[in-house]
Amino acid sequence: KMKKLKIQKVLVKYGKLIKFGWEQIAKKNSLNILIYGLDSIPCFKFSYKNSTALATYFTQEMLKLGFLANTSLATSYAYNEKIIKKYLISVDTVFKKISLTIHNKKKLKLNGPIKHTTFRRLT
């Protein structure tokens, strides 16, 4: 079924759309991010000293817009271009808020603690 439906090609296509979207939206909002990862598993990182706090804020604000989102994702065959477009519109909204916070040197309004890094919580 994976070969018949060319699922891997679809996952790569979706990941490339998302990576390109992140890049364009970050530029539009004057944000510095590093985009990396496999095309089917795209990731980005905020290029600021408080990157973990920014990632926490990103997740918090994306949740308000109906997306359980992080700075990385694994593409799914269930995605489509309409879903990705809606996701990227929400990313633009949140990146705009982050940009205003950074450029106006304001404090992030987090509703909880800063997220832990993956392995740090184990120590």
pTM of the model: 0.92
Residue pair 40/75 in contact by the 8 Å Cβ criterion: yes
Per-residue pLDDT of the chain (123 residues; tens, 9 = 90+): 889 999 999 999 999 999 999 999 999 999 999 999 999 999 999 999 999 999 999 999 999 999 999 999 999 999 999 999 999 999 999 999 999 999 998 889 999 989 887 665 555
Please give the C-alpha separations between residue 116 and each of 33, 53, 89, 111, in angstroms, as whole numbers.
19, 10, 27, 15
